[in-house]
Amino acid sequence: MLSAFVPQSQGLARFELRAGAAIPADSIWLDLLEPTPSEEKQVESFLSVDVPTRDEMREIEASNRLYEEDGTLYMTATVVTKLDSDLPESTQITFILSAPKLVTNRYVDPLPFRRFIAYAERHPNSCNSPPAVLAGLLEAIVNRVADVIERVATDLDGASAEVFSASRRKRGVMRDFRRMLERLGQNGELISKARESLVSLGRLLTFVQQSTSVPVSGEVRARFRTLTRDVMAMSDHASFLGTKVSFILDATLGLINIDQNNILKIFSVVTVFLLPPSVIAAVDRMNFQHIPGAQEPWGFWGALGLMLASAIGPFLYFKRKGWL
């Protein structure tokens, strides 16, 4: 789908262009969403640019993601989508910035794009040039990543409280270790994808600020500088959260080992307590005619007392050693 955005008094007006429809000459943003080959060719012939293919957008080399040709900037960034689901995904979005127009090429419809379009339709002053539109899109993407990082930070605080709170563990709150491991795994995967996106956005912002091919107003340059600082701060915070995920994960695995050792300890202690009485009972019931004390009136009670003493003895010894 090819959409053209034209600045008007009330904001950007969106026009969805059908096959063969002419591109408005006064448009400042052309948005390609899952474009067909004919739509790509139409944009290429209209602006004399080369729209990267989907395979080219997936290449990880910086030279293939950030480059300049004939005064046009080609920038591909990694964006995290489906952040509200259990399986977030990373995808690539290409921004082609020239003096007259901005072209975006994407194969997903992430929430930041929808939010920015709704905002741009009501605020004409903030989206009156291609660089301003680019700044607005990047701000929406960064704000979305910030929301995700804040959500992960809050969830990790709750997970940390569950893992390290002794009172909660005594009440059995921390018994579902599998749920905790899945929770930490999801947060770790989300933070990993967020860090990947932030690194990509940071490189893009540095590239666009260093370029002098496309005229950018002082106000928009200030927005780019603010975005760069925000991305750097969020990258540091995301790295901290990644370390925190690893720390809580190690602590959870340690608690699992402690619980397993406690269970084995109980079985071992019970085995030690019951072993001497079992030996005494087995000897007392051996099928021999003459067993000392077996025919005496006190034989049964003597054997029972000896069995009890053999069980109490190891208990007192373990208690003295502090093993119980």
Give residue-wise pLDDT tens across range 68-123: 888 889 999 989 888 777 778 888 999 999 888 899 999 988 888 889 888 888 88
Q: Indicate the burial class of 301 (C-beta count within 10 angstroms; 0-12, 13-18, 19 or more).
A: exposed
pLDDT > 60? residue 199: yes
CA distance 262 to 268: 10
Structure tokens at 209: 């600020």
71 contact partners, CB below 8 Å, separation of at least 6: 98, 99, 213, 214
Q: Indicate the burial class of 38 (C-beta count within 10 angstroms; 0-12, 13-18, 19 or more).
A: exposed
Residue 136 near residue 115, CB atoms below 8 Å: no
Which DSSP category does 88 fall into? -
Helices within the chain (DSSP H only): 37-47, 54-57, 62-65, 111-120, 130-164, 166-170, 177-210, 218-284, 299-321
CA distance 134 to 31: 12
238 contact partners, CB below 8 Å, separation of at least 6: 149, 191, 194, 195, 198
User: What CA–CA distances, in Å, run from 251 to 45, 151, 153?
Assistant: 59, 21, 17
3 — pLDDT class (breaks 50, 70, 90): confident
**Mean of per-residue pLDDT scores for the chain:** 82
**CA proximity to 215, closest of 271, 134, 314:** 134
Give residue-wise pLDDT tens across range 8-38: 878 888 888 887 788 888 888 898 999 888 8
Domain borders along the chain are 2-258, 261-321
CA distance 132 to 280: 90
pLDDT > 70? residue 174: no
Comparing 70 with 140, the larger pLDDT belongs to 140
CA end-to-end span of the chain, whole Å?
A: 71
CATH class, domain 2-258, is alpha beta
pLDDT > 50? residue 192: yes
Q: Calculate ∠ Cα 9-93-37, nearest 5°.
A: 90
Residue 297 dihedral angles phi and psi, to the nearest 5°: -60, -30
User: What CA–CA distances, in Å, run from 180 to 97, 125, 199?
Assistant: 45, 48, 28
**CA proximity to 33, closest of 61, 60, 69, 5:** 5
CATH placement of domain 261-321: 1.20.58
The DSSP-derived string for 278-293 is HHHHHHHT-S-S--TT
